[in-house]
Structure 1
Amino acid sequence: MSLLPEFRSNPAPAVGTRSRLLLRLRLGRREVLLRQTIIEPGGDSGWHYHDGTLIVLVTGAPLDHPGYDCRPVRYRPGRVFREPSGPGHRHLARNSGDRPLRLTVLYLNPVGSPLSRGVPSPPCAG
């Protein structure tokens, strides 16, 4: 029996993803959240951006993480990166590999913000 919460499927436009929230605390006008996400092979998050800054640890498979210009960006397992906030940093998280991709994400959000805000696919995404 695990004391950790179960993974739950993420809502559309995400496909083949599930997450669990491990920690949520409020520090003044900020909310700190720790979340784990699994993206199955062929799955993706849908195009989105965040109101707060994220610190992301990639494990399992590589993360394909193009921005709204569709320029390819790939983070290998073991990589930690910072994801900036705001609509100018729209992106997609995709697993093009053949094994599950795991993301451990620390969110530094304004209180009351959603974890992400969906946006339409850019024209270059075809």
Structure 2
Amino acid sequence: MRGATRGLFAGLAAAGLALIPVTAEATPGSGVTGTILAQTTVGGKDYILREVTIAPGGKTGWHYHDGTLYAYVKQGTLTHPDADCKATVYKAGAAFVEPSGKDHVHIGQNLGTTPVVLEVLYVDPAGSPLSEDAPNPGCPFE
């Protein structure tokens, strides 16, 4: 272990903080890029407009949101399985809402041959991340 890392752990222990090992169970995404187009905070909520592109064969990884997400499929076909392992397919021109909370885990997949482009409005509690990683809820696919 490097000296700096040892010092960090020693400092945490001295402060009375326990280190609890955690298994990383989140499913990683691949082939996803995003660009924030606009962002503002009003009344304790962040409003973030983002363009998300999922390359052919790409996926977001299983995740959920702390706030509500509103999406519009600008291009391509998005396959969107939820925690019940049921997939909804959204084609270009479709709009959908993702509710907030851990009980609404899902994954976005591009099973097609052209990029999926989404226009997404995140309405989150101020300071929240855009998404929270989650493990696969038991579906027979990633």
Matches within 5 A, 1:109-124: 109-124=124-139
User: What's the % identity of the aligned pairs?
Assistant: 43
Which of structures 1 and 2 has the bigger CA Rg?
2
Which residue is equivalent to 1:8? none
| Alpha-carbon offset, residue 28 of structure 1 | 1.4
Which residue is equivalent to 2:117? 102
Tell me the amino acid that sits aligned with residue 62 of structure 2.
W
Which residue is equivalent to 2:102? 87
Unaligned runs of 5+ in 2: 1-26
Q: Does 1:60 align with 2:75?
A: yes
| Alpha-carbon offset, residue 125 of structure 1 | 2.9
Matches within 5 A, 1:10-89: 13-89=28-104
Supply the distance in 2 between the matched residues of 1:55 and 1:61 (Cα, whole angstroms).
17
Supply the distance in 2 between the matched residues of 1:125 and 1:87 (Cα, whole angstroms).
20
| Alpha-carbon offset, residue 94 of structure 1 | 0.4
Supply the distance in 1 between the matched residues of 2:100 and 2:47 (Cα, whole angstroms).
14
SS in 2 for 1:73: strand
Q: Which digits, 9 at most, give the CA deviation of each residue in 1:66-120, with x for residues without a partner?
A: 0011112111110011111101110000000000000110010000110000001
Q: Deviation above 6 Å: which 4+ runs of structure 1?
A: none
SS in 2 for 1:88: helix
Tell me the amino acid that sits aligned with residue 54 of structure 1.
L
Supply the distance in 2 between the matched residues of 1:38 and 1:89 (Cα, whole angstroms).
22
Supply the distance in 1 between the matched residues of 2:122 and 2:113 (Cα, whole angstroms).
27
| Alpha-carbon offset, residue 14 of structure 1 | 1.6
Supply the distance in 1 between the matched residues of 2:35 and 2:28 (Cα, whole angstroms).
17
Question: What is the number of residues matched between the two proteins?
Answer: 115
